[in-house]
Structure 1
Amino acid sequence: MPNLFTDLRESLRRPEFWMYSSWLDIITRYRRTRLGLIWIIIPTAVFVAAIGQVYSTVMGHDPEFYLPYLAIGFVLFRFMTQCLSESGSILRSHKPFIMDGRVRMTDYVLRSIAKAFFFFVCAFVVIAAAVAWSPQTSVVNLLTVLATFPLIMLNSFWLSSCMSMVGARHADSSEMVTTVMRFGMLLTPILWVGDRFPPGTFGWWAVHLNPAYHLITLVRNPILGEPVPSASIWFVAVMTVLGWLLAAVVYRRYARFVPLWI
């Protein structure tokens, strides 16, 4: 039977397929454009600069606080959205490889995450610029990403692994995930600050039961020089452990059926 951890270890030992194919996909997409890979940065920079100035005024926040807050939250949420959205169709899009005998499904999950990670690295320039521009934040705090962002990648992997199995069985799941994530961005403290709801209210519960909020908080607060709530640390820790156990069970049970489903 397929084993998630065994297959993942082999995929990490032999990264040629998923690393090269994800890089090739990005290069071919922007090869004929004049600005090339800069197009990865421009939409994020325009969004943060334009929306940041407007919403900081509408919501009464200091732009020096709000722009870094928005930039970090938006880039992180986009990374998670790209991982989940692409994983829903990743196995079907690689049907020729799977039918040819390449049945280590972790290769394809890592491919979707590697592609999203490359976009994140490019968009991180916008985060660094916003943090450097604001006198309320320190560029040195950006180093905390090295310790906190791997937790988002760990959770993105088990979610993408489960989602890839669902996507192999149900072809329309990718569109469903894209729709849910677009709506989820409005419910996650990205455009608005999460501490505006009194404890115990519906809004407070909606925020604190949102996994994306805790993952983003774990990365964003240290960059902004703010402490991470203990509730977020515990939430992410429990979610990571239970999520990987769930992914291992799902992978062991259903990975062998993928060639039949696609």
Structure 2
Amino acid sequence: MSAVVNDGGIPPAPPTSDSKTFARGFKDLADGFRNRELWLHLGWTDIKQRYKRSVLGPLWITIATGVTAVAMGILYGALFHMDIEYFLPYVTLGFIFWGFIETTILDGSVVFSTNEGLIKQLPAPVSIHVYRNVWRSLIIFAHNVVIYVIIFAVFRPPLDWSVLLVIPAMGLYILNAVWVTIVFGIMSTRFRDIGQLLSTMIRLVFFMTPIIWTTKSLTDISGGVSDRAKLAQLNPMYHYLEIARAPLMGEPVALHHWIIVIGCTALGWLAAMFVMRNFRSRVPYWV
């Protein structure tokens, strides 16, 4: 078969592949979101399978988180001489929001490797599994919110209209959950040690983040802010917790918390789009 030539007798240039472009990355995210019936069903099925043949089912999530939060709140409240009416809601909210962060990171790092069969058999956007992981984490988070409702009924924290700030805070949580799943999920598929490293790091960061302790407990003898309290500001997770926890505690949220979280979100999405552009098409070969 003779090659096709143009009027000048020169063969046309071969078509340029767009598999590694930002446009294809955005298209994958958009196509995956449009298939929400699929990832909503898969995420809900994951929860049902996890607690199959269990009498209480997903309520075990609530019970486990609630018991841990109350036990830690009472124990560390006594150790730090904190008012239990303040400290118990503080610790409970810390566990609830940290649970969402931890679940998103750890489950996101294995979201592709644990769905090898589905990825190879079902030609679908990679982002479907990203949205599936975030949706599953939100279901677990919703179960844990019941704990705060109970705590609120008992201790009645002084809430005002600033409690509505939890809505944009959760929006930022979801945006971060998506890019975290993209970056760690795809890179962990290529380098399996990343998942193990994240498991170790998440435990370390838990104790470095004000969840079972407060920055107020780090004040110096004169009552001012100590150097240890200033070091806590270097932990991004502290700022993520503050934008969601403080409104539900009836406390103001400092502007720098929002600035840092929004900045981290923007940087995370830049990394996510870079990973989607360069490695999205390799996921079926790596799993």
TM band (smaller chain): over 0.9
Q: Kindly provide the amino acid, as one letter, of the partner of residue 210 in structure 1.
A: N
Choose from 46, 59, 65 the match for 2:67: 46
- Cα gap change, 1:17/1:189 in structure 2, threshold over 3 Å: closer, same or farther? same
Choose from 40, 55, 66 the match for 2:87: 66
Q: CA deviation at 1:205?
A: 4.6
Choose from 139, 142, 148 the match for 1:121: 142
Q: Kindly provide the amino acid, as one letter, of the partner of residue 263 in structure 2.
A: V
Is residue 208 of structure 1 aligned with residue 233 of structure 2? yes
Deviations 1:58-91 (A, max 9, x none): 1111111011111111111111111110111111
Is residue 166 of structure 1 aligned with residue 187 of structure 2? yes
Q: How many residues align?
A: 261
Q: Kindly provide the amino acid, as one letter, of the partner of residue 82 in structure 1.
A: T
Rounded Cα–Cα distance in structure 2 between residues aligned with 1:86 and 1:149: 19
Greater gyration radius: 2
Rounded Cα–Cα distance in structure 2 between residues aligned with 1:50 and 1:79: 20
Q: What are the ranges of 5 or more consecutive residues in structure 2 without an aligned counterpart?
A: 1-18
Contact residue 88 and residue 167 of structure 1 kept, 8 A: yes
Please identify runs of 4+ aligned residues in structure 1 that moved more than 3 A: 135-144, 197-200
Following superposition of structure 1 onto structure 2, how do residues 165-184 of structure 1 map, counting pairs within 5 Å?
165-184=186-205
Rounded Cα–Cα distance in structure 2 between residues aligned with 1:178 and 1:17: 29
Q: Kindly provide the amino acid, as one letter, of the partner of residue 211 in structure 1.
A: P
Rounded Cα–Cα distance in structure 1 between residues aligned with 2:57 and 2:179: 32
- For the aligned residue pairs, the C-alpha RMSD in angstroms reads 1.9
Choose from 26, 29, 40 the match for 2:50: 29
Higher mean alpha-carbon deviation, 56-65 vs 140-149, is at 140-149
Q: Secondary structure at the match of 2:112?
A: helix
Deviations 1:26-46 (A, max 9, x none): 112223112222211101111
Deviations 1:99-134 (A, max 9, x none): 235252111111111111100000001112212221
Q: CA deviation at 1:141?
A: 6.4
Q: CA deviation at 1:235?
A: 0.4
Residue 230 of structure 1 is matched in structure 2 by 255
Deviations 1:5-27 (A, max 9, x none): 32222222111221111111111
- Cα gap change, 1:167/1:146 in structure 2, threshold over 3 Å: closer, same or farther? same
Q: CA deviation at 1:146?
A: 2.4
Contact residue 89 and residue 152 of structure 2 kept, 8 A: yes
Residue 280 of structure 2 is matched in structure 1 by 255
Is residue 219 of structure 1 aligned with residue 237 of structure 2? no
Q: Kindly provide the amino acid, as one letter, of the partner of residue 218 in structure 1.
A: I
Residue 13 of structure 1 is matched in structure 2 by 34
Q: Kindly provide the amino acid, as one letter, of the partner of residue 244 in structure 1.
A: W
Contact residue 108 and residue 185 of structure 2 kept, 8 A: yes
Q: What are the ranges of 5 or more consecutive residues in structure 1 without an aligned counterpart?
A: none
Rounded Cα–Cα distance in structure 2 between residues aligned with 1:49 and 1:204: 24
Residue 97 of structure 1 is matched in structure 2 by 118
Choose between structure 1 and 2: higher helix proportion: 1
Deviations 1:163-191 (A, max 9, x none): 01111101232222122111111000000
Q: Secondary structure at the match of 1:35?
A: coil
